[in-house]
A and B are shown apart, each in its own frame.
Chain A
Amino acid sequence: MNQESLFAIFINASLINNFVLAYFLGICPFLGVSGKMETATKMGAAVTFVMIISSVCAYGLHALLVSIDAIYLQLISYIVVIAATVQLVEMFIKKMSPALFRALGIFLPLITTNCAILGLALFQTNKGYGLAQSVVYALGAGIGFTLALVLMAGLREKLNFAETPNLVKGTALTLLIAGILSLAFMGFAGLGSN
């Protein structure tokens, strides 16, 4: 069992060990949709939402697998559940709020292959978090993901008119900015350790 406080878990997941900038999880959407502020915010919100739901599912699933002694099915069941969750969330949003659905539209299916979601489920299991801890962990991870995405989008929009050298155009520039952001986030290291 893990006894970390909820606040420490939140700070750890969102700032100290930011999913994108320290664990490199969810890099694909990070590189792909960080070009524009608006899409970045929406993607971040969608990911956070799915993260919380799949975190709860993964918690329940893990308990189930342990009780029937079938822990070897962990990975395959997690991925199936995540894919199903994304589908359900998509259908649910479509029904409840067509406006939100149109806004999120193309991003929702993409989330299935976002390694941050599966990574979150695996990490929370490895760390032995309880239900409340898992949810806070998911929230922190989602907010951290959104933060990284939104900061990157702001910088990239600002650089739209810059005369960047040909050498670094494209992904290379995004990675360099991500590296600098990652450096800046190192300032949060040890937060709450004393």
Chain B
Amino acid sequence: MKEAGNTSGQTSGQKMLLTMTGIGVFCALMIVLSYQGTLPRIEQLKAEALEKAIFKVVPGMESKRTFRMESDGSFTEVSGKEKDARLVYAGYDKEGKLVGVAVEAAGMGFADVIKVIYGYDPEKEAVVGFYVLESKETPGLGDKIEKDPNFLANFEALDVSLTEDKSKTKNTVVAVKHGEKKNNWEVDGITGATISSRAIGNLLGTSTAEMAPVLHKNKAFFEVKKGQ
């Protein structure tokens, strides 16, 4: 307890400045070192997690390329490290043929925003895969959107075909009550988790309505191999 008193007597502005600078330099050094030290590993883990998700939603995919969507609806290939950009991931099979494009989408669920990634096949004009990236839906109820096999079966071939002039989707994806799915652009909901399954229907509807025409238009662009 006595030591505490010692410091107060001899302080001056200079000393305060000196200590603060010293501590600041030390802290900055520690932070930068730990950042540099962990960076490769963190990026690898993140890339792996993303890869895993993309592989889940684009069946038959062997390799991927990342594109950034520009505000005019065109796409530019990027390295995939950009943060504040709208990215899509094109997947290719062994022969390098385009098998689908993975797109992220988000919408308000029951508890908080739900983030998903889905695969769009411009050839079939359909959603071909779906995976929940982030959700806080009620365990045992709303979180069935992640696990329920019947629900997930909706997204193996969900019709998002375009109108004649390819300018918009023919039908908007929408969730219906469980067991009442009549058309293949409808999502068969989950009993007891109506809100969560509807949220998925809505967010897919909004996202596909916007993205499907753009992606379809750029189909040829995605198919061009690197270096060609």
Contact = CB atoms under 8 A, between A and B. Distances in A.
A72 B32 CA distance: 7
A146 interface: no
A73 B30 CA distance: 11
A168 interface: no
A31 interface: no
B64 interface: no
Given A76-B27, A76-B31, A8 B108 contact: yes
A192 B112 contact: no
Contacts of A128: 84
A16 B111 contact: yes
A76 B32 CA distance: 12
Interface string A164-194: 0000000000000000000000000110111
27 contacts: A1-B84, A2-B106, A4-B108, A4-B113, A8-B108, A12-B112, A16-B111, A17-B111, A66-B83, A66-B84, A72-B32, A72-B35, A73-B28, A73-B31, A128-B84, A189-B110, A189-B111, A190-B109, A190-B110, A190-B111, A190-B195, A192-B108, A193-B109, A193-B110, A193-B198, A193-B199, A194-B202
Interface of A: 1-2, 4, 8, 12, 16-17, 66, 72-73, 76, 127-128, 189-190, 192-194
9 A-B pairs with the lowest CB-CB distances in the bound complex, closest first: A72-B35, A190-B110, A193-B108, A190-B195, A189-B110, A72-B31, A193-B199, A189-B111, A17-B112
